[in-house]
Structure 1
Amino acid sequence: MYRHPSSSLNRGLRHKLAGWALLCAAALCGEHGLVAPARAENAATSPALERRVKAAFLYKFLGYAEFPPGAFADPASPVTIGVIGADDLAAELAHIVSGRTVNNRPIAVRVLRESELGTSVHLLFIGGLDAGRVGRMVRAASGALLVVTECEGGLHQGSAINFRIVDERVRFDVALDAAERNGIKLSSRLLTVANRVQKGAQQ
């Protein structure tokens, strides 16, 4: 398992991360850009706020992921995010990325159904808490390069990033091997603020 070099530093970064995510979400969604401390401390108590934070994270993940050269047909090809099992989050995400780019590429958000799991996307978010169902979809997502989930044991099911609620905050774990299998390099800056980073898919 990957271990951070400075646990005290990471604790500070992790506490800052929750506030950063909420500030980011609020600003990206066209709100005031400021979030009251009580909300920052209890991000998971509101489903709408949790959804907004996760959508903001998905957008931010793109900037910390280096996709293989063959992932794009040409320099103008968009970065495509697929969302399955979370239509409300997809709508929130589409609003956040509207008019924005990542590495000079436009961003496209697609709502997918289970029958479309083979669709080629750069990042796929699979919503839902049923680990068995999520695991089946992860294994069927042959066209996805970076898979993100939100269920208990998501990394064990094969995802590269899995959202968790820790101390009423939206956090995420990372499995390096799952990303590297598809030729994706995740920035050390992302790993530094992750709740947990591990080599392999076991939790």
Structure 2
Amino acid sequence: MNRGLRRSFVGWALASLAVLCAGAGLMPPARAQSAVPGVPLERRVKAAFLYKFLGYTDFPASAFADATAPLTIGVIGADDLAVELARVVAGRTVNNRTIEVRELRESDAAARVHLLFVGGSDPQRVARIVHQALGAMLVVTECDNGLQLGSVINFRIVDERVRFDVALDAAERNGIKLSSRLLTVANRVQKGAQ
């Protein structure tokens, strides 16, 4: 793809994300929309969505040590996304809580985090990590059949756009409640075990 075409695609993709998110009040932060050298557009979009997911998720009070404890995001298998996400959340808060991003290894899957992003498309690896992720409440994946593997939210590419599916049963099992505003912009909402 030549540079001019790539730049127009990047602009179109970001504009599409802006329209999708604005319609639901899920606008990613402006900083996520500027071009960042070395981080693919898809990763930048997903990082912006992960940040926004926090604001549309009700975590139980027991998920925090105290009123000042941060919201913690763990990232496995996507170092570039973790770097971008740390940049996106820098200096921001959600519900008066700071946000902490931690790059984790597969062996750290059981770490206590509020949101765990599992990168990669290998369903066996993703299933193994998701099943070990007992310390995570909002598990987000990006592989085929991610919801069937146990994630709460799974990213998909639909018509060249980053979209996401949601499993309400997984959210309920993990003790979290997702806002109806988030559900209205989901590509698909799965209400029961499938």
* Contact map agreement 1:100 1:106 (CA 8 A) in 2: yes
Cα displacement (A) at 1:56: 0.1
Alpha carbons of 1:20 and 1:59: their partners in 2 closer, same or farther (altered >3 Å)?
farther
* Contact map agreement 2:163 2:187 (CA 8 A) in 1: yes
User: Residue 49 of structure 1 aligns to which amino acid in structure 2?
Assistant: L
Q: Give the match for residue 108 of structure 2.
A: 116
User: Residue 105 of structure 1 aligns to which amino acid in structure 2?
Assistant: R
Cα distance in 2 for residues equivalent to 1:189 and 1:198: 15
Which SS does the other structure have where 1:165 is aligned?
strand
Which SS does the other structure have where 2:156 is aligned?
strand
Cα distance in 2 for residues equivalent to 1:78 and 1:131: 31
Cα distance in 1 for residues equivalent to 2:22 and 2:57: 22
* RMSD (CA atoms): 2.5
Corresponding residue pairs, total? 176
Q: Give the match for residue 122 of structure 2.
A: 130
Alignment deviations for residues 49-85 of structure 1 (CA, whole Å, 9 cap, x no partner): 1000000000000000000110001000000000000
Alignment deviations for residues 58-114 of structure 1 (CA, whole Å, 9 cap, x no partner): 000000000011000100000000000000000000000000000000000000001
Deviation beyond 6 Å, 4+ runs, structure 1: 18-21
* Contact map agreement 1:150 1:163 (CA 8 A) in 2: yes
* Contact map agreement 2:21 2:28 (CA 8 A) in 1: no
Cα displacement (A) at 1:15: 9.3
Alpha carbons of 1:185 and 1:70: their partners in 2 closer, same or farther (altered >3 Å)?
same
User: Residue 159 of structure 2 aligns to which amino acid in structure 1?
Assistant: D
Which SS does the other structure have where 1:122 is aligned?
strand
User: Residue 20 of structure 2 aligns to which amino acid in structure 1?
Assistant: L
Report 1:58-137 matches (<5 A): 58-137=50-129
Among 149, 161, 179, the residue aligned to 2:171: 179
Q: Give the match for residue 28 of structure 1.
A: 31
Cα distance in 1 for residues equivalent to 2:172 and 2:32: 31
Alpha carbons of 1:128 and 1:188: their partners in 2 closer, same or farther (altered >3 Å)?
same
Cα displacement (A) at 1:128: 0.1
Which SS does the other structure have where 2:40 is aligned?
helix
* Contact map agreement 2:44 2:84 (CA 8 A) in 1: yes
Q: What's the % identity of the aligned pairs?
A: 70
| Greater relative contact order (Cα < 8 A, sep 6+) | 1
* Contact map agreement 2:39 2:84 (CA 8 A) in 1: no
User: Residue 77 of structure 2 aligns to which amino acid in structure 1?
Assistant: G
Cα distance in 2 for residues equivalent to 1:139 and 1:54: 22
Cα distance in 2 for residues equivalent to 1:145 and 1:151: 19
Cα displacement (A) at 1:194: 0.2
Say whether 1:149 aligns with 2:141: yes
User: Residue 125 of structure 1 aligns to which amino acid in structure 2?
Assistant: F
Which SS does the other structure have where 1:74 is aligned?
coil
Q: Structure 1 length as normaliser, TM-score?
A: 0.80
What are structure 1's unaligned runs of at least 5 residues?
1-13, 33-45
